[in-house]
């Protein structure tokens, strides 16, 4: 993979893997049968919406079963992912990401003072994806991001595209349920995703000889509205308990064939803090490699992100200033290639005091 072990050590104590891990209770497990079967009864739908709302409010994370995604397709993608990452570094780098597009292969990212112990392959939902050329406020020029196409394993691109179609269907169902849990029309969020900037990421975490000193992914929050994660049976994902001390984390034990869902920063803004984006991280394993596949649901580049009017009033005024998603996204992308002297852009920069 090309990871420098010494550089992968966590140097900042606040990012060092904590000792206090809660395993007695897990994030909510929700059955999506009412929206994946025909003619569900109204009471089961009402109960499901209530469950979704409670999970978003209390945890920001939940797992779903009976989600309607083909298990055989998920397994096919995982096998293809394993074959891709098993190639030599030289072959993988033939489809490396670059400054013209973030899609493709890359290894170990920096999250603050942590060097993440992983390698990834990113693939855009829409090819091409339309985005701003720069993050400058008055620059209206646009560019197109396109996908890299690995030659190995055979049919890799087609498998990814078929899987993305399943993720789009599940994403729509979840966004409708979340909308209803907020008291909104089911299709309220649909307008934001007509020209989405979503992408899928294939993660590979090799065994780490010093798992107590490194992280697979450092603590972070997701910038979009929603993330759908498939993880293998190795596990490693940990979620920070809301409103608790820095050291309290919950390990998300793998549930066969389930998906792990979390709301991100955009949903926090849209809901005006009714639902909160929660920190999470990935622990590495000293003996086993781990594979996971997150699908990041992102809106169109020209989406103005701000608290929804239906969820604000005189007693609950907007808590965030509006920002353009495309400009925010490009600012984040540029930080992958340019050393930043300041903290990368976050939604708290738009918080109204």
| Residues 183-223: tens digit of each pLDDT | 999 999 999 999 999 999 999 999 988 776 677 778 899 99
Q: What is the pTM of this model?
A: 0.90
Residue 43 per-residue DSSP state: H
Residue 278's pLDDT is what? 94
Q: 45's torsion region: left (phi>0), alpha (psi -120 to 50) or beta?
A: alpha
Q: How many residues does the chain have?
A: 353
- Identify the three-state secondary structure at position 273: coil
The radius of gyration computed from the CA coordinates of the chain, to the nearest angstrom, equals 20
Contacts of 233 by beta carbon, 8 Å cutoff, 6+ apart? 254, 256
Query: Each residue of 268-284: pLDDT tens digit?
Result: 999 999 999 999 999 88
Mean pLDDT of 174-182: 98
Bridge-based pairing of strands 249-251 and 21-22 is: parallel
* Top-ranked range on mean pLDDT: pick from 8-22, 98-112, 214-228, 232-246: 214-228
Residue 111's pLDDT is what? 41
Q: How many domains does the chain have?
A: 1
Contacts of 199 by beta carbon, 8 Å cutoff, 6+ apart? 102, 103, 122, 123, 124, 125, 129, 295, 296, 298
Residue 342's pLDDT is what? 54
Residue 276's pLDDT is what? 96
Please say if the pLDDT value at position 6 is more than 50: no
Residue 345 per-residue DSSP state: P
Mean pLDDT of 127-151: 95
Please say if the pLDDT value at position 296 is more than 60: yes
Please state, in angstroms and as integers, the Cα–Cα distance from residue 6 to each residue in 216, 232, 236, following that order: 14, 27, 21
Residue 25's pLDDT is what? 56
List of long-range contacts for 188-192, beta carbons under 8 Å, 24+ apart: 188/308, 188/310, 189/225, 189/270, 192/225, 192/299, 192/300, 192/303
- Identify the three-state secondary structure at position 30: strand
Mean pLDDT of 238-245: 78
Q: For the chain, what percent of residues have pLDDT higher than 70?
A: 86
Mean pLDDT of 8-16: 35
Name beta bridge partners: 292. 203, 231
Residue 49's pLDDT is what? 98
Domain at 277, CATH number:
2.60.120.330
pLDDT higher at 297 or 7: 297
Task: Identify the weakest region by mean pLDDT among 6-15, 76-85, 87-96, 211-220.
Answer: 6-15
Most distant CA pair in the chain: distance in Å? 59
Cα separation, 326 vs 302, whole angstroms: 6
Please say if the pLDDT value at position 336 is more than 70: no
Residue 61's pLDDT is what? 96
Query: Each residue of 15-51: pLDDT tens digit?
Result: 434 433 333 357 999 999 999 888 778 899 999 999 9
Query: Each residue of 248-268: pLDDT tens digit?
Result: 889 999 999 999 999 999 999
- Identify the three-state secondary structure at position 259: strand
Of 283, 322, 288, 272, the C-alpha closest to 302 is 322
Of 231, 69, 293, the C-alpha closest to 166 is 69
8 Å CB contact between 206 and 2: no
Residue 19's pLDDT is what? 35
Residue 12's pLDDT is what? 36
Residue 72's pLDDT is what? 98
Q: Which domain holds residue 221?
A: 5-350
Cα separation, 167 vs 172, whole angstroms: 9
Contacts of 152 by beta carbon, 8 Å cutoff, 6+ apart? 83, 84, 87, 91
Residue 286's pLDDT is what? 86
Residue 257's pLDDT is what? 95
Residue 246's pLDDT band, with cuts at 50, 70 and 90, is low
User: HEC profile for 81-145?
Assistant: HHHHHCCCHHHHHHHECECCECCEEEECCEECCEECCCEEEEEECCCCEEEECCCCCCCCCEEEE
Residue 320 per-residue DSSP state: B
């Amino acid at each position: 993979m090309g990871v420098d072990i010494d550089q992968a050590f966590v140097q900042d104590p606040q990012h060092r893997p904590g000792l206090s891990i809660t395993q007695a209770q897990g994030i909510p497990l929700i059955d999506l049968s009412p929206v994946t079967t025909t003619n569900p009864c109204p009471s089961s739908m009402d109960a499901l919406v209530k469950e979704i709302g409670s999970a978003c409010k209390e945890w920001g994370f939940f797992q779903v079963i009976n989600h309607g995604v083909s298990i055989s397709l998920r397994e096919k993608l995982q096998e293809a992912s394993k074959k891709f990452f098993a190639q030599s570094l030289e072959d993988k780098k033939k489809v490396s990401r670059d400054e013209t597009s973030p899609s493709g292969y890359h290894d170990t990212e920096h999250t603050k003072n942590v060097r993440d112990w992983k390698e990834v392959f990113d693939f855009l939902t829409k090819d091409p994806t339309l985005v701003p050329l720069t993050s400058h406020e008055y620059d209206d020029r646009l560019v197109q991001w396109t996908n890299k196409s690995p030659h190995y394993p055979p049919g890799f691109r087609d498998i990814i595209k078929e899987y993305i179609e399943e993720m789009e269907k599940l994403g729509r169902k979840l966004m409708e349920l979340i909308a209803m849990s907020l008291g909104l029309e089911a299709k309220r969020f649909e307008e934001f995703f007509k020209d989405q900037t979503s992408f899928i990421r294939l993660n590979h975490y090799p065994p780490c000889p010093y798992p107590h000193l490194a992280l697979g992914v450092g603590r972070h929050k997701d910038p979009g509205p929603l993330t759908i994660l498939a993880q293998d049976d190795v596990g490693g994902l940990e979620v920070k308990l809301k409103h608790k001390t820095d050291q309290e984390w919950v390990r998300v034990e793998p549930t066969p064939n389930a998906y792990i869902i979390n709301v991100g920063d955009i949903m926090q803004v849209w809901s005006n803090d009714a639902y909160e984006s929660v920190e999470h991280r990935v622990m590495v394993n000293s003996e086993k490699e781990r594979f996971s596949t997150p699908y990041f649901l992102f809106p169109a580049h020209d989406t103005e992100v701000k608290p929804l009017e239906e969820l604000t009033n005189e007693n609950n005024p907007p808590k965030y200033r509006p920002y353009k998603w495309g400009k925010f996204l490009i600012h984040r992308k540029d930080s992958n290639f340019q050393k930043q002297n300041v903290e990368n852009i976050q939604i708290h920069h738009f918080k109204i005091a």
